[in-house]
Structure 1
Amino acid sequence: MKKRIHLLAAYSTMLVLSILSTIVYAQPADTLHAPPPVLPGVYADPHIAAIGNKFYIYPTTDGTEGWMSTSFTCWSSPDLVKWKNEGVIFDLPSDLTWAKARAWAPAIAVKNNKYYYYYSADVNIGVAVADKPTGPFKDPLGKPLIKRGSRKGQMIDPMVFVDDDGAAYLYFGQGNCNVVKLNDDMISCDTSKIMSFRPEGYNEGPFVIKRKGIYYLMWSEYDTRDPRYSVAYATSRSPLGPFVKAQGPPVLKGKGVVKGAGHHSVVQVPGTDQWFIAYHRFKIPDGNGYNRETCISPMRFDADGRILPVNVFEKVKPVKIKVAK
């Protein structure tokens, strides 16, 4: 009898623990305490890259009504967690003759042992060149690479993808997505060969990666001032498309205290299949489309190559780049 009582007591205890465990794991995730931004202050439109043994972020300087910033900074990190401000690397009033404000959404590309910096300035797309990833960058053209009004929509948000064969493609545009192959000098192109298209839901911020032979074109949907701002993607077997939009939920979307998560970039840790997505969100607290902060989250793929939805509440752990000797 005593043995039965003990067995019943043990069973009851296990049942209670099981129920409690189920209740705990059934609770919704904490959406009120997001990880802090990786850069202090307000920065948006981050382009993240792995160069040498460091990671770099090239952002838009935020915090002005109408996005009237005039200069660009660069940030470096040995591990994606600790970031150093490398200072101003390009200043429109002193480094350009054709634009003085609206310094937006830069991007970096490496080729010919040079660093090519693409940026928006007064709704034109420019290019600058440097010998180091931290600059200083200089304007080699004295004019825009892509002039305002060249195509429908705004000539902003440049991104350059350098393929395995060394060919480089410039993606850009708000309203329409545009792509053109750059010449070998990386500072010129045949504008008559610009291809324009608009994937379903496309607004701005195109970004391209390549994984296992598949090209992923990613972009931001809605407006950056809209809390629903989010990231979608399409795939192709060619950097020029056609691209087929992926079905299902957005790759990146705000939740809870995180609002307006978008205008992203993606970095692959060299020599691995580890990927991270950098993006901005409304500043927490009291942020909006003019006061945004830069964040990083892990990005993963499923067995079929689909990009899994990003958890904007997952903290990034330190990652080192192993440089081959």
Structure 2
Amino acid sequence: MKNALLTLAGVAFFSCSALAQTDTLHAPAAVLPNVYADPHIAAFGNKFYIYPTTDGSEGWNSSSFTAWSSKDLVKWKYEKVILDLPKDLSWAKARAWAPAIAYKNGQYYYYFTADVNIGVAVSDKPVGPFKDALGKPLIKKGMLKGQMIDPMVFVDDDGEAYLYFGQGNCNIVKLGADMVSYDSTKVATFKPKGYNEGSFVFKRKGTYYLMWSEYDTRDPRYSVAYATSKSPLGPFVKAENHPVLKGKGVVKGAGHHSVVRVPGTDDWYIAYHRFKIPGGNGYNRETCISPMRFDEQGNILPVDVFEKLKPVKVK
């Protein structure tokens, strides 16, 4: 009888352990309240910041951008509206999507999509207020094939800055020293296999990583792949272990990400959106953060969207 009870206990323990390893019905909570998508995460000083798209409207018709700050990646503080299209722009009033931010020249440059154009605004603080730098789009709708959306700016170690953008194709151009100009004859266009939108670039140990989202943001299969290069302009070679971020179980549509390194460390985190849980879809998405790790060869390891996020500190 004793042996039988031990056997039953062992089976129960094994079952519970197996369930804990395979349970895909209980995902960690989103880091921002309500519905926000396309998060661009950055570290400035001793704080982290997220710049998202305000979600929740059919056709993604939001008209303003917000900023959020955190000291530990877990608890986030709402700062304010940092750019209001109807008030702050003369050339677009709606469809405020997928922003990015970069720091150079003692200024913060905020790149954003507005009515399928790309604009740039500037401030001396990471939470604004931001002022339209040009009074017109930096990248105008219809300038190239595909949609002129999803800007990303990477500032290299030598101070040179590069703009990545586009849906359907990935476009790259070196920015001028002023961060608001470029040579339109030097825009390079290419399409990695599977590329759709949401490009993001970072550098680690001399390697440039170009990441992007595949499928459509309304598709539960929405996911993230990447390629590497020894130059910010490429050529980029797609990694074999893709996608590195994808949904599973209750997590659907995990994509349109950004990446941040904890200053002073080699610890990396990926911010992304997923369909809101429960009842979300491509217009109702929520922002999440997960650890992102590398193997000894520098390959990005698959992200576990069920790993609980632990607080971190900027040293």
TM-score, structure 2 normalization: 0.96
Q: Which residue of 1 aligns with 2:201?
A: 208
Deviations 1:138-179 (A, max 9, x none): 012111001111111000000000000000000000000000
Match of 1:248 in 2: 241
1:99 is matched with which residue? 92
Larger gyration radius, structure 1 or structure 2: 1
Quote the Cα distance in structure 1 between the aligned partners of 2:112 and 2:280.
24
Instruction: Note the alpha carbon deviations across 1:85-139, whole angstroms, 9 max, x for none.
Output: 1110000000000000000000000000000000000000000000100000001
* Amino acid paired to 1:167: E
Question: Shift of the alpha carbon at 1:287?
Answer: 0.5
In structure 2, C-alpha distance between the alignment counterparts of 1:15 and 1:288, rounded to whole Å: 45
**Equivalent residue letter for 2:145:** K
1:253 alignment partner, SS class: coil
**Which residue of 1 is the match for residue 284 of structure 2?**
291
Alignment of 1:184-195 (within 5 A): 184-195=177-188
Shift of 1:291: 0.5
The equivalent of 1:3 in structure 2 is none
What is the distance in 2 between the residues matched to 1:301 and 1:79? Answer: 21
- The whole-number CA distance in structure 1 between the counterparts of 2:148 and 2:261 is 27
Alignment of 1:250-289 (within 5 A): 250-289=243-282
Please, what is the CA RMSD of the aligned residues? 1.6
Distance in structure 2 (CA, Å) of the matches to 1:150 and 1:39? 34
Listed one character per residue, the Cα deviations across residues 51-77 of structure 1 (whole Å, up to 9, x for unaligned) are: 001000000000100000000000000
Residue 21 of structure 1, CA deviation: 5.6
State the AA in 2 paired with 1:232. Answer: A
Instruction: Show the counterpart of 1:124.
Output: 117
Task: Work out the number of aligned pairs and report it.
Answer: 313
Shift of 1:248: 2.3
TM-score between the two structures when normalised by the length of structure 1? 0.93
Superposition deviation, residue 265 in structure 1: 0.2
The DSSP-based 3-state class of the residue aligned with 2:22 is coil
2: distance between equivalents of 1:71 and 1:168? 26
User: How big is the shift at 1:315?
Assistant: 1.2
Q: Which of 55, 61, 69 is 1:76 aligned to?
A: 69
Aligned partner of 1:174 in structure 2 is 167
More off after superposition, 221-230 vs 18-27: 18-27
Q: Distance in 1 between matches of 2:56 and 2:245?
A: 23
AA partner of residue 118 (structure 2): I
Deviation at 1:26, TM superposition (A): 3.9
Match of 2:35 among 27, 31, 42: 42
1:6 aligned partner: none
1:162 counterpart = 2:140: no
Query: Residue 120 of structure 2 aligns to a residue in which SS?
Result: strand
Please tell me whether the aligned partners of residues 224 and 242 of structure 2 are also in contact (alpha carbons under 8 angstroms): no
**Separation (CA, whole Å) in 2 of partners of 1:221 and 1:159:** 17
Quick one: which of 307, 310, 324 aligns to 2:300?
Answer: 307
- 2:178 pairs with 1:224: no
Which ranges in structure 2 are unaligned for 5 or more consecutive residues?
none
Question: Is contact 2:119–2:139 with CA below 8 Å preserved after alignment?
Answer: yes
Q: Work out the CA distance in 1 between the residues paired with 2:186 and 2:305.
A: 38
Unaligned runs of 5+ in 1: 1-8
Partner of 2:191: 198
Letter in 1 for 2:48: F
Could you say which residue in structure 1 is the equivalent of 2:58?
65
Q: What secondary structure is seen at the aligned counterpart in 2 of 1:279?
A: strand
2-structure distance, mates of 1:73, 1:42: 12
1:12-65 CA distances to partner (integer Å, 9 max, x unpaired)?
999887766655544442111111110001000000000001000000000100
1:120 is paired with a residue of what secondary structure? strand
